Amino acid sequence: MFESAELGHKIDKATYDNEVPKLREDLLNAQFDLAQKARFPVIILVGGVDGAGKGETVNLLNAWMDPRHIVAHAMGEKSDEERERPHMWRYWRALPPKGKIGVFFGSWYTAPIVQRVMGKTKASELNQSIDEINHFEKMLTNEGALIIKFWFHLSKEAQRKRLKSLEKDPKKSWRVTDLDWERFKLYDKFRKVSEHALRATSTAEAPWIVIEGTDSRYRSLTAGKILLEALRKRLDHHVQAVTPTTAPLQVPIDRLDVFDKLDMSQKIAKKKFDTELEKYQGKLNLLTRNERFRNLSVIALFEGSDAGGKGGAIRRITGALDARHYRIIPVAAPTEEERAQPYLWRFWRHIPHNGNVTIFDRSWYGRVLVERVEKFCSEAGWMRAYSELNDFEEQLVKNNTVLVKFWLTITKEEQLRRFKEREKTGFKRFKITEEDWRNRKKWAAYETAVCDMVDRTSTEIAPWTLVEANDKNFARIKILKTLCQQIEAAMKKK
């Protein structure tokens, strides 16, 4: 992939000085249009060979464009906060919203490539990282992001000359470190691993653009023109919506689903409930105070029928926890800030660090439930969401997160009883709205969506726990017991 970036490309000073003013004006105009329309975000990745002009290019983009709408992120060593969360958490937090440009100097490619070159990982692990990156970038582009990936290249001899030149210049010598020379000794291996990574991740949606970095004028003018062309192409042309290419989901012809096998008559008497509640709340408290729990985090996710009892179940969990170490995230309609980002962004930002519990009252499954049923999302959008949600949860579990997913189900008759009870009870009236009654009319559509969700996202690493919730006491004990079992099982593995 690097042959055309070792030809000695150059631009003379006169040509450069003549073209740059117009290029800068056009880039600013494109940036203004991007901010005004706010239809999509722009993500620029800057990678390549040491000494090929990566840092200079980032500085140049900041100088040529409006700093209010472009943010550069130098992704160096992870902080303690970042080390306690999944690898991609630090990048999700830095994603630009619609209408803005985010420049990543050092990106999700850096660690997989460097670790492989240094012999810290196997080829299979690099390929696994490549697959994860492709899924991530595919999700971003499906959400509308424009991804531009620049790789600045130097031949081995050109890199040697560049490093020596920088070392001799008193004003630039600080740019060359012992680490740069150590990596230069591994040039051939870096080239081989990088070429493999680039080839495997240069996709139709997010191709790599390799630019020779020997001549600064050629490098700067080329990068600027490519960026301008990509911006104008997206701004000036309507992007067709993605259409589903898979067969549509079908309701089983015998109408049998996962809920038909649940015994909704299960109950726990009040006296037994009180005993069991004390037992499992005490157990949960001891588990979360155990020394080994400091190496884990917990996400308890609650979905379910309206009036299914999520709030009461959550209160029984928090009653056993230290208030300093848990958070409840109630999920409603996305805010303006959240709508400007890919839909998973609002959940990535709340991932807990080690030793903590986060409870989601509703969750990322809204994409395949309410957004599907209410047609807030296209069929293509919610169809691809199943694999995106599974990928997301796999990253959580790999990072020592105990992910426990509860679906609280009640019968249609029990829901009606609870709705009427809420209307008659003064302190419960706020719990029942016209929206609840409207959703009830779509019971069948929601039931179909839930069955599809369970079938496609109840995985071996993050299974769904279906909770028979007609009896609140039974549901609460089942939830506490399941949560304790899964935390205990995770701690035994440590």
> Which pTM was predicted?
0.90
Share of the chain above pLDDT 90, in %: 82
141 and 42 in a common domain: yes
Question: What is the Cα–Cα distance from 319 to 301, expressed in whole angstroms?
Answer: 17
pLDDT along the chain (494 residues), means of 10: 89 96 97 96 95 92 94 91 94 97 95 95 96 96 96 93 86 82 90 95 94 95 96 85 56 75 95 97 97 96 95 97 96 95 97 97 97 93 94 96 98 93 80 85 93 94 96 98 97 84
pLDDT digits (tens, 9 = 90+) for 24-45: 999 999 999 999 999 999 999 9
248 in a structural domain: no
pLDDT digits (tens, 9 = 90+) for 86-120: 999 999 999 999 999 999 998 999 999 999 999 99
334 and 194 in a common domain: no
Q: In this predicted structure, what is the pLDDT of residue 253?
A: 65
CATH number at residue 407: 3.40.50.300
Q: In this predicted structure, what is the pLDDT of residue 162?
A: 85
266 and 227 in a common domain: no
* Residue labelled with tokens 């679906």: 407
202 and 100 in a common domain: yes
46 and 14 in a common domain: yes
Q: In this predicted structure, what is the pLDDT of residue 242?
A: 54
253 in a structural domain: no
- Is 225 exposed, middle or buried (CB count within 10 Å of its CB: 0-12, 13-18, 19+)? middle
250 in a structural domain: no
189 in a structural domain: yes
280 and 164 in a common domain: no
Rounded to 10°, the helix 54-64/216-236 angle is: 50
Question: Could you say which of 202, 236, 270 is where a domain stops?
Answer: 236
Q: 98 near 41, Cβ under 8 Å?
A: yes
The beta strand positions in 63-116, using DSSP E, are 70-74, 101-105
262 and 232 in a common domain: no
Q: 362 near 447, Cβ under 8 Å?
A: no
179 and 288 in a common domain: no
Task: Give me the number of domains the chain comprises.
Answer: 2
249 in a structural domain: no
Q: What angle do CA 110, 114, 115 make, to 5 degrees?
A: 115
247 in a structural domain: no
Question: Could you say which of 236, 269, 284 is where a domain stops?
Answer: 236
306 and 218 in a common domain: no
Q: 234 near 144, Cβ under 8 Å?
A: no
106 in a structural domain: yes
270 and 186 in a common domain: no
Structural domain boundaries, residue 315:
258-493
352 and 427 in a common domain: yes
What residues contact 283, with CB distance under 8 A and at least 6 apart? 484
283 and 165 in a common domain: no
Pairing of strands 42-48, 146-153: parallel
Q: In this predicted structure, what is the pLDDT of residue 46?
A: 97
Q: 99 near 41, Cβ under 8 Å?
A: yes
| Secondary element (H or E) of residue 39 | none
Closest CA to 184 of 117, 259, 253: 117
Q: In this predicted structure, what is the pLDDT of residue 166?
A: 84
- Is 259 exposed, middle or buried (CB count within 10 Å of its CB: 0-12, 13-18, 19+)? middle
**Number of neighbours of residue 293 by Cβ within 10 angstroms:** 22
